[in-house]
Amino acid sequence: MRPYRPILWFALIAIAVTADVRVPAAEAPPLVAVYGDVVHTMAGPPIEKGVVVIDGGKITLVGSALDIPVPPAARVVRGKVVTPGLIDAHTAVGLTGYLNQDQDQDQLDKGEPIQPELRAIDSYNPRERLIEWVRGFGITTIHTGHAPGALVSGQTMVVKTVGETVDDAVIVPAAMVAVTLGDDARPGDEKKSPGTRSKAVAMLRGEFVKTQDYLRKLDLGDPEKRPDRDLRREIFADVLRGKLPLLVTVNRATDIDAALRIAKEFGIKIVLDSAAEAYLAADSIKAAGVPVIIHPSMRRGGTGETENISFETPATLHAKGISVAMQSGFEGYVPKTRVALFEAAIAAANGLTTEQALATITSDAAAILGVADRVGSLRPGLDGDVAVFDGDPFEYTSHCTAVVIDGRIVSEEPR
Amino acid sequence: MNTRIVTGLCLLAACLGGGPNAIAQERPVAFTNAELLPISGPPIAPGTVIVAGGTIAAIGPTATTPIPPNAETIDCTGRVIMPGLVDTHSHVGGGWGGDASGPIQPDVRILDSINVRDSGFRKARAGGLTTLNIMPGSGHLLSGQTIYAKLRKASTIDDVSIRDAAGKPLGGMKMANGTNSQKDAPFPGTRSKSAALVRQKFLKAQDYRRKVAEAKGDAAKLPDRDLEMEGLLDVLDGRVVVHHHCHRADDIMTVLRLRDEFGFKVVLHHVSEAWKVADQLAKAQAPCSVIVVDSPGGKIEAMDLSLATGAMLEKAGAPVAIHTDDPVTDSRLFLRTAGLAVRAGMSREKALEALTLAGAKMLELDARIGSLAVGKDADLVVLSGDPLSVRTKVLETWVEGEKVFDRDDPEDRLFAVGGYGAGRDQKAHACCTDERLSETK
């Protein structure tokens, strides 16, 4: 190959010179028509023999293929079942990488117990192989960021599973602040706090009390008394102002109660995450109007705080009228990530209907993440994100045959 | 069932030396009108399988299979029945093998540390599993002796062990290479060191064997007994199969190289990169027990793990089983792993065989288990439908003619779906304890 190297270099230079017109990003998204024997719009009943038309990256038409003519010049994609691009309501993929070595693990800094100032956008690797992996199964949007494992581990964000930079991918740069209560909030060194559940709650309350003072001083309007800028205070201030919810990872019912108590005391928005024993606290969760991003169905239960997990929790909470989404969660070993589609499938097999289970990874997930005006259902005006399957999306032996994000076909390899 | 009669049988069986294992099924059971998946032959629908005395007495089309007059008949219309699932690689029961003292510990038996009341056993039954190879971990080059277990209702490890004709519990030997078993000395620091340590130990065992042979039974000349050497002789003499953890293609080939040097029998486990050497594995007819997980990675050795490994090994012609590696995958979802293998291109037939007969062969138990065939143990699973559908439920699991899981039983159901208390260890199953418990209620 050596004699050809100069030519290769020339080719690279040519690419570099024309780098401003990166082929996939610069071309306008094509006109795409996605046909399905069944189209689950998640904005109404499923449409038999339906079509979704996407133009300029946005959905323009959704309806019966009998009523909507094939647009001339459209790229046509066909499949048995069409759904909105799927949403993984909570993962750490992109901050955590598949090699599981120091250089690709940025989901958790255990240096301090409380670090809400850590931004997810500063650690996200859009080229991480696990992102491509989950996208192949139809996942087009992920809520990712700092993982459970510290009292306040950092921020989360919502991104599309495409893009060469975080700016290409991001929908919501700061979505929530990740809080962990229970055993996993302990730093592992018994000389460091929090060492108990009560201490963890006291520390968190202390932060909010301090932030209330910070806000009070800001509101005085006196430039002399204005507090210095403080990244930590600014984020907690956004939590107190209701701009940023806390994503509280809990499992024991005791810790769920503690999370609801804190939310009530400070009037802040929270989303419960994992919540292995949520079925024990369903009445209080319902009364508080708090949504739950339920642990992966297949999460290793067995021991510790998650020993009582149930395949039926999604159905139990749904029946109570609690808003639920499913997630792939965070895995520290093999497999390095789960796939939200498969986790919702177990929910579909254990008490939820197909439509309800789909909602946990589409419309309901979008609502919980605050992005329902962009993704999660097939309606005109929303992003052109679509997943196509050759059968029931939840069946093990079906394949995801096409994935469309922002009107671009990003995968047609059956997976 | 009259508890006192059972107690009597129990004691009688104990006198005969068989332990509770030997409780014979009292009355034949006929499962009729089912779709039967015998694995060793084509599906039979509607079919009847008759079990008596803990073994399969008859199997065939319902129309032509007579039911014994004293049999209990279970109408299985709409149900699918397949052999009890065989898991070649499980860690249920909380057992530990070797400790941190050294990398090669063939004297250590997992059977000395298993808690048969661990909830993992109940969850495994809820998944339709009936036979497990319970192994110590992969943090050693050789972490100890494994045990082949039947998921009978049990109070002691003896109740679950599978024994040979002489009453000896059967099992394999767990070995590993690659990164899991590399650490500070006396453990190896490299792959070459790993292989050298193993070879040196097997050479020592060969010497021990020669000394035993040369003594010709003369007590004065026999070497002192040595539990480590005895464990390795079982391997060298082919009485015990090596179950070898390996991921990377070169590690897989290293195992085959050691196998050829020392002539032991081996099953390759996990084999994340087997797809890269599928032709070599087929040529060597090396049995491969595959793990199916939801993504690659988690460690560098598993970075090229593929859902298509089973498909590619099948295509190449290598023997393929699938295992849970519970807790890495959940025993209750063992059928799912075959579904994902089919998604990635494996044939339905081979994928179902990979959960049953292929695993039975790798444990050298295929004369007793792994298919629905006359004379084999009456280990079977009653399913609500297609084994590869996410919506299918395991309704009942039977071991040797006894029902050990029933989804309609609320206590069993708890372990099938999870919920409050599902992580707790199970109650004792001894006949006498049950009686005492019921009297105190």
pLDDT digits (tens, 9 = 90+) for A79-91: 999 999 999 999 9
pLDDT digits (tens, 9 = 90+) for A92-110: 999 999 999 999 999 999 9
pLDDT digits (tens, 9 = 90+) for B256-274: 999 999 999 999 999 999 9
pLDDT of residue A225: 86
- β-strand partners of B34: B47
Structural domain includes residue A375:
no
Q: How confident is the model at residue B16 (pLDDT cuts 50, 70, 90)?
A: very low
Is A308's CB within 8 Å of B423's CB?
Answer: yes
pLDDT > 70? residue A9: no
pLDDT of residue A367: 98
Is A336's CB within 8 Å of B296's CB?
Answer: yes
Same domain, A100 and A152: yes
Q: How far apart are CA A67 and CA B282, in angstroms?
A: 55
At a CB cut-off of 8 Å and minimum separation 6, what does B434 contact? B3, B428
Same domain, A238 and A339: yes
Considering chain A, what is the average pLDDT of its residues?
93
What is the tally of structural domains in chain A?
A: 2
The Cβ of residue B66 has, within 10 Å, a number of other Cβ atoms equal to 11
Same domain, A268 and A361: yes
Q: How far apart are CA A292 and CA A290, in angstroms?
A: 7
Structural domain includes residue A374:
no
**Which amino acid type is present at position B241?**
V
Same domain, A107 and A11: no
Contacts of B339 in chain A (CB under 8 A): 395-397
Q: Are B197 and B141 in contact (CB under 8 A)?
A: yes
Is B388's CB within 8 Å of A339's CB?
Answer: no
Q: For testing the chain A interface, which of B92, B295, B426 should be mutated: the one with the most A CBs within 10 Å? A: B295
- β-strand partners of B246: B270
Comparing CB atoms, the residue among B298, B329, B422 nearest residue A100 is B298
- β-strand partners of B149: B132, B161
Q: Are A345 and A83 in contact (CB under 8 A)?
A: no
Q: How confident is the model at residue B428 (pLDDT cuts 50, 70, 90)?
A: low
Comparing CB atoms, the residue among B295, B343, B389 nearest residue A130 is B295
Same domain, A190 and A62: no
**Which amino acid type is present at position A298?**
M
Is A396's CB within 8 Å of B343's CB?
Answer: yes
Q: What is the mean pLDDT of residues B110-117?
A: 96
Q: What is the mean pLDDT of residues B226-245?
A: 98
Structural domain includes residue A60:
yes
- β-strand partners of B109: B145
Lowest-pLDDT choice from B12-16, B342-346, B404-408: B12-16
Q: How confident is the model at residue A13 (pLDDT cuts 50, 70, 90)?
A: very low
pLDDT of residue B247: 98
Contacts of A308 in chain B (CB under 8 A): 418-423
Is B343's CB within 8 Å of A280's CB?
Answer: no
pLDDT digits (tens, 9 = 90+) for B192-227: 999 999 999 999 999 999 999 999 999 999 999 999
Any chain A CB within 8 A of the CB of B127? Answer: no
Give the helix/strand (H/E) hosting A51.
strand A47-55
Report field, pTM of the whole predicted structure over 0.90 = yes
Chain B: residue nearest A340 by CA?
A: B294
pLDDT of residue B18: 38
Q: How far apart are CA B374 and CA B51, in angstroms?
A: 9
Domain residues for the domain of A341 are: 87-369
Same domain, A309 and A398: no
Structural domain includes residue A333:
yes
pLDDT digits (tens, 9 = 90+) for A213-228: 999 999 998 888 899 9
What CATH number corresponds to the domain at position A45? Answer: 2.30.40.10
Any chain A CB within 8 A of the CB of B339? Answer: yes
**Which amino acid type is present at position B195?**
A
pLDDT digits (tens, 9 = 90+) for B169-190: 999 999 999 999 999 999 999 9
Residue in B250, B244, B236, B231 with CA at minimum distance from that of residue B289 = B244
Q: How confident is the model at residue B23 (pLDDT cuts 50, 70, 90)?
A: low
Structural domain includes residue A400:
yes
What CATH number corresponds to the domain at position A102? Answer: 3.20.20.140
Q: What is the mean pLDDT of residues A403-411?
A: 97
Same domain, A322 and A194: yes
Residue B217 tokens, joined: 């039974």
Contacts of B420 in chain A (CB under 8 A): 277, 279-280, 308
pLDDT > 60? residue B441: no
pLDDT of residue B25: 74
At a CB cut-off of 8 Å and minimum separation 6, what does B310 contact? B290, B292, B320, B322, B341, B344, B346, B350, B351, B354
pLDDT digits (tens, 9 = 90+) for A281-290: 999 999 999 9
Shortest CA gap A182–chain B (Å):
18
Structural domain includes residue A53:
yes
Same domain, A132 and A164: yes
Q: How far apart are CA A348 and CA A311, in angstroms?
A: 10
- 3-class secondary structure, B299: coil
Q: How confident is the model at residue A111 (pLDDT cuts 50, 70, 90)?
A: very high
pLDDT digits (tens, 9 = 90+) for A52-63: 999 999 999 999
Q: For testing the chain A interface, which of B306, B390, B395, B415 should be mutated: the one with the most A CBs within 10 Å? A: B390
Same domain, A396 and A349: no
Lowest-pLDDT choice from A66-70, B128-132, B241-245: A66-70
Residue A127 tokens, joined: 């080229």
pLDDT digits (tens, 9 = 90+) for B47-87: 999 999 999 999 999 999 999 999 999 999 999 999 999 99
The b-or-e profile of B338-352 (16+ CB within 10 A means b, else e) is: bbbbbbbebebebbb
Q: How far apart are CA B285 and CA B241, in angstroms?
A: 15
Structural domain includes residue A50:
yes
Any chain A CB within 8 A of the CB of B421? Answer: yes
Same domain, A68 and A167: no
Lowest-pLDDT choice from A41-50, B6-15, B367-376: B6-15
Q: How far apart are CA A249 and CA A258, in angstroms?
A: 11
Q: Kindly report whether the peptide bond that precedes residue A46 is cis, defined as omega within 30 degrees of 0.
A: no
Is B418's CB within 8 Å of A312's CB?
Answer: yes
- β-strand partners of A59: A54
Residue in A216, A201, A322 with CA at minimum distance from that of residue A262 = A201
Is ipTM over 0.85? yes
Any chain A CB within 8 A of the CB of B342? Answer: yes
Is A99's CB within 8 Å of B339's CB?
Answer: no
- 3-class secondary structure, A170: strand
Residues in chain B: 441
- In this complex, how many residue pairs, one in chain A and one in chain B, have their CB atoms less than 8 Å apart? 116
Same domain, A79 and A103: no
Q: Are A395 and A381 in contact (CB under 8 A)?
A: no
Any chain B CB within 8 A of the CB of A310? Answer: yes
- 3-class secondary structure, B85: strand
The Cβ of residue B284 has, within 10 Å, a number of other Cβ atoms equal to 17
pLDDT of residue B24: 59
Is B342's CB within 8 Å of A309's CB?
Answer: no
pLDDT > 80? residue B147: yes
Structural domain includes residue A1:
no
Is B298's CB within 8 Å of A335's CB?
Answer: yes
Considering chain B, what is the average pLDDT of its residues?
92
Chain A: residue nearest B303 by CA?
A: A99
Is B300's CB within 8 Å of A101's CB?
Answer: yes
pLDDT digits (tens, 9 = 90+) for A296-332: 999 886 678 999 999 999 999 999 999 999 999 999 9
Q: How confident is the model at residue A27 (pLDDT cuts 50, 70, 90)?
A: confident
pLDDT > 50? residue A5: no
**Roughly how many angstroms between the first and final C-alpha of chain A, as a whole number?**
35
Is B296's CB within 8 Å of A133's CB?
Answer: yes
Same domain, A243 and A365: yes
pLDDT digits (tens, 9 = 90+) for A253-304: 999 999 999 999 999 999 999 999 999 999 999 999 999 999 999 988 667 8
